[in-house]
Amino acid sequence: MKRSLFIWFHLACIFSAGILMAQNTTVVYLEGEPQHKNSKGVLAPLDYGSRLSAGESVITGKKDLAELEQGSAAVIRIKPNTVFTIREVETGGQKEQVLSTVVGSVSMKFNRLAGKEPRVGTVSTIAGIRGTELTVFAGPDGSSLFIVKSGLVSVTAEGKTVDLGEQEAVEVPVGGPPGEKYSVLGRELDFSVWAQEKAEALLADPLAALERTQVLLEQFKAGLAEWVGKYESARVESEAAAKTMAEITDKEAQGKYRDEVWFPLALQTGSAVLNYRYYTLSALSLRRYVLGPLYMQVRTRNMVTKDSTYETFMARYRKLIQDFQETFEPYTNITDY
């Protein structure tokens, strides 16, 4: 099954090539030594003029900065200690980019006149935007903070949507719905202060942090199951259509069948792959950038000061990792790590 999944993944890439070319993102400014992770998982220094597309990431250290442009449509400023990834999902029959701040802080400015805006997101949520200038904070606990300078943003998580206007912000906790929006007029929010508060809260109650993470993983698991199911259904139908198409001897009739029957089914299959991969990679980011650091900090702290909840934490952590391995790892590949 896994082999055929990746065959259809490559088909999806072929079918969407025209869209991806239009959405290429170019590096226009650098400070320090940011890293570029390509779609094959290869890590290399980010170069001025490099082009990024879906499946690729920029990783900055504490003294790094990177600025990207999507033609005249968008400017993306990736701040220090950040992981920024370009992903892709299928919604309503159309493919959309998701500019995802996995951890750290990214500011974005979009020109509505340049065309349809992509979506922006973090590990825990996706937001729709309309002609917007905004900043996204992604915390060490998996929570998110969306701050709008101008335009409109609709932030959705756990079935709840909060609409933000100019100089408004909202926080989204890991595994939960957005909180109440608030005004940031006259206030300057510092990511390092906000992130430090999240890190301290994380360590203050690591068991609660695991519970919140598990809630989010369950959401990803449900999304994965839904789209793998759709993939299997579309795959069976498209393979049957391919056999039927091969049996048609008349070239004109075969071409019509290909365009009207087989090709739409193949597109459905490819779209399903893109979506289940989105949930898989979101779960992998949660494991890598939230669970992993939390585990290391709890273990290090226990070496210095014995914690009565340490064994309980470790047992629950191991169970979460086992669940991840059983549920999501079958849908990953070597380039994801």
Structure tokens at 130: 């309309």
What does the pLDDT read at residue 132? 87
Identify whether the C-beta of residue 43 lies closer than 8 Å to the C-beta of residue 83. Answer: no
Mean model confidence pLDDT for the chain: 88
Rg (the chain; Cα; Å) = 21
Q: Is 199 helix (H, G, I), strand (E, B) or coil?
A: helix
For the chain, give the percent of residues with pLDDT over 70: 91
Identify whether the C-beta of residue 258 lies closer than 8 Å to the C-beta of residue 202. Answer: no
Region 169-181: mean pLDDT is: 93
Cβ-based neighbours of 198, under 8 Å, separated by 6 or more: 139, 140, 141, 143
Q: What is the pTM of this model?
A: 0.85
pLDDT 10s digits, 272-315: 999 999 999 999 999 999 999 999 999 998 887 777 889 999 99
DSSP 115: S
What does the pLDDT read at residue 118? 78
The structure tokens 């400017």 sit at 75
- From CA 185, how far away is CA 311, in angstroms rounded? 45
What does the pLDDT read at residue 9? 41
Rounded to the nearest 10 degrees, what angle do helices 191-204 and 206-247 cross at?
100
